[in-house]
């Protein structure tokens, strides 16, 4: 190994150490960014009358939504991130600088899940679109949609802010309507 290749290996190892974030949930930069975000409880209610609670970081500003879960090396099964939008809109997400697969739930103004992207590919620049106007995107650890039996037509609640206020029957909703 030459000196220059030795330096390359050291740089690679340093990069991997930064990626691992010291064994915690996130790298140092990601942890600081997440710590600045407010947290709230969300509840996912399934078609099978099951409820699943998560503690979510709330990204309610353009800056927070742009950062998302970038550089996070690990999520617990009860962690989530929610992206909150003021008005219904078609939303496009990507996985740039996101190191772990995520499941994404796209949620309309009534709290109904209208589309789902499962096990998104880490570091991908491919666009992941809601397909319908939404006001909320929920990101979960990849694989939890299948493990918890979540599907289009299930409901998301944010009890800390009493949302949604409507009592629409989400089970009657489909991906198309």
- What residues does each domain of the chain span? 3-172
Residue 95 has pLDDT above 50, yes or no: yes
Determine the pLDDT at residue 69. 87
Determine the pLDDT at residue 167. 85
Determine the pLDDT at residue 12. 36
CATH of the structural domain 3-172, one choice from 2.60.120.1140, 3.40.630.30, 3.40.50.620, 3.40.109.10: 2.60.120.1140
Residue 170 has pLDDT above 50, yes or no: yes
Pick from 78, 174, 67, 69: which is nearest to 120 by CA? 69
pLDDT above 70 covers what percent of the chain?
Answer: 79
Cα 74 to Cα 47: distance, rounded to the nearest angstrom: 28
Lowest mean pLDDT among 26-30, 85-89, 90-94: 26-30
Lowest mean pLDDT among 11-25, 62-76, 83-97, 104-118: 11-25
Q: For the chain, where are the E strands, in sequence order?
A: 39-45, 51-59, 79-89, 92-93, 102-107, 113-117, 128-129, 134-141, 155-157
pTM attached to this predicted model: 0.81
DSSP state of 9: H
Residue 126 has pLDDT above 50, yes or no: yes
- Tell me how far CA of residue 133 lies from CA of 4, 21, 50, 100, 130, in angstroms: 52, 35, 26, 26, 7
Cα 77 to Cα 129: distance, rounded to the nearest angstrom: 24
The average pLDDT across 12-27 equals: 42
Tokens for 47?
Answer: 């078609």
Determine the pLDDT at residue 27. 55
């Amino acid at each position: 190994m030459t000196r220059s290749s030795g330096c390359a290996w050291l740089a690679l190892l340093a990069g991997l150490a930064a990626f691992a974030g010291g064994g915690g949930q996130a790298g140092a930069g990601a942890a600081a960014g997440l710590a600045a975000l407010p947290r709230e409880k969300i509840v996912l209610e399934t078609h099978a009358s099951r409820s699943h609670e998560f503690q979510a970081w709330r990204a309610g500003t353009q800056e927070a939504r742009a950062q998302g879960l970038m550089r996070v090396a690990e999520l617990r099964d009860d962690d989530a991130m929610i992206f909150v939008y003021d008005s219904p809109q078609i939303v496009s997400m990507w996985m740039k600088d996101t190191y772990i697969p995520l499941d994404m739930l796209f949620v309309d103004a009534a709290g109904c899940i209208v589309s789902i992207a499962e096990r998104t590919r880490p570091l991908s620049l491919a666009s992941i679109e809601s397909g319908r106007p939404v006001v909320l995107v929920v990101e979960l650890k990849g694989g939890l949609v299948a493990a918890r039996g979540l599907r289009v037509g299930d409901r998301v609640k944010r009890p800390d802010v009493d949302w949604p206020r409507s009592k629409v029957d989400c089970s009657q909703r489909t991906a198309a309507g």
